[in-house]
Structure 1
Amino acid sequence: MSRPLTPLALTVLRMLCDGPMHPYEMQQRIRDHAYDQAVKITHGALYHSVERLASTGLIEPLETSREGRRPERTIYAVTAAGRDAAQIRLAELLRNPAAEFPLFGTGLAFLNLLPEDEVARLLRGRTVLLEAALAAHQTAHDALRKQGLARYKLVDQEWMIARVRGELEFVRGLAGDLDAGRLTWKDDEVHTRCHPRPRPPRHDDKEDS
């Protein structure tokens, strides 16, 4: 059974559905359309993905050219098999919820390893970062809309904005519950073992200080 297309491979196929191009042009268009907000893309990974797709027959090289002292650039085109694979993978991504393990979820699972007041402080700091991220995503979205991009090309950004906004609301509420004492783990055994209650200072401690 073949491995499913990675998000980056799907991105390459999507770019080539617009027409043949070389990887450098793909990278520029990905940035112009803010696809790098939806897919993690690095220069090396993009070229590696192009090579893998070519080796499996999902894309094919059309021509290789060189301009001056620049490295050779190979122009690729998507094949019929590549178009079919992209459509099948896209349908899977839209239809089937995937098990994801965000790092924030890991942190929430082990809250009681830290004192409550410290968690509340950290969450308040997270709200500041989320507010900045939300503003940045909204600004980028609005700018692309003003440039005339159709809404269907920005639905992934709408989802990102909604996700950040939802997380911001959740984190604010969680921090508020900690501050108000509605959420506590002071008597939890794990918390007690990881953070034993501080002993009162002794006379010799003062002399050592």
Structure 2
Amino acid sequence: MARPLTPLGLAVLRLLHDEPMHPYEMQQRIRDQAIDRVVKVAHGSLYHTVERLAGLGLIEPVETTREGRRPERTVYAITEHGRDEANSRLREFIRRPTREYPVLGMALSFLAMLPPDDAAQLLDRRTVALEADLAAHDIVVDGLIKQGLPRIHLVEVEYFNAQLRSELEYVRALSEDIKSGRLTWRPPGRPNGENNDR
């Protein structure tokens, strides 16, 4: 295979592993099953991925339908080659940790550029946003459970939830350390020698 299978490509193969479907239905299922919370799906990328997978022989068109005046819809199915590639790539994703570069980690490495009060305030705002994300996420999980989705199809959602909770706990503790004075620093001055304090 020329390029490794992307996470979105693996998601498409996973959906087609269950049953043949057209890209619009894949898009709906990606939203309904909260796959878009763990796989980046940019506008138009799903259709591009489907075309690429078909070109590589990992999926194949099995029928084309048209309803009324709507455009034709091509239904795709996974091929044996697609099953093999999906299993191989999935095993690699699970087996090997890959270095990820989260934006928060990068921002925290430069935290000393800000005055401590500003940093604590920004961390508190992030806490509020994380709490909102968790509440929304819990609603999604509850909805998927009520739909009767087996737990095996929820483990990625559980993982995402664990990451959010861990980040929330860390950000809260870091903010408290700054506010209590357990973590202090003096931000570097501006080029003209002025302090960054507002």
User: What TM-score does the superposition give when structure 1 sets the normalisation length?
Assistant: 0.88
Cα deviation for residue 185 of structure 1 reads: 1.8
Aligned to 1:103: 103
**Aligned partners of 1:74 and 1:184: how far apart in 2?**
60
Aligned to 1:88: 88
Aligned to 1:23: 23
**Aligned partners of 2:134 and 2:41: how far apart in 1?**
21
Aligned to 1:11: 11
Cα deviation for residue 197 of structure 1 reads: 4.3
Aligned to 2:58: 58
Change (3 A) 1:177 1:194: farther
Tell me the secondary structure at the aligned position of residue 21 of structure 1.
Answer: coil
Computing the radius of gyration from Cα coordinates, the structure with the larger value is 1
Aligned to 2:162: 162
Tell me the secondary structure at the aligned position of residue 189 of structure 2.
Answer: helix
Aligned to 2:189: 192
Unaligned runs of 5+ in 1: 199-209
What value does the CA root-mean-square deviation take over the aligned residues? Answer: 1.6
**Aligned partners of 1:13 and 1:195: how far apart in 2?**
57
Amino acid at match of 1:139: I
Tell me the secondary structure at the aligned position of residue 169 of structure 1.
Answer: helix
Q: Deviation string for 1:105-145 (max 9, x for gaps)? A: 11001011111110011001110111111111112112211
Unaligned runs of 5+ in 2: none
Residues matched between the structures, number = 195
Q: Deviation string for 1:83-121 (max 9, x for gaps)? A: 000001111111111110011111001011111110011
Tell me the secondary structure at the aligned position of residue 44 of structure 2.
Answer: helix
User: What TM-score does the superposition give when structure 2 sets the normalisation length?
Assistant: 0.92
Query: 37-46 vs 72-81, which deviates more?
Result: 37-46
**Aligned partners of 1:42 and 1:26: how far apart in 2?**
14
Amino acid at match of 1:41: V
Query: 7-16 vs 60-69, which deviates more?
Result: 60-69
Aligned to 1:207: none
CA contact (8 A) 1:113 1:194 kept: no
Q: Percent identity?
A: 59
Q: How does 1:119-158 map to 2 (within 5 A)?
A: 119-158=119-158
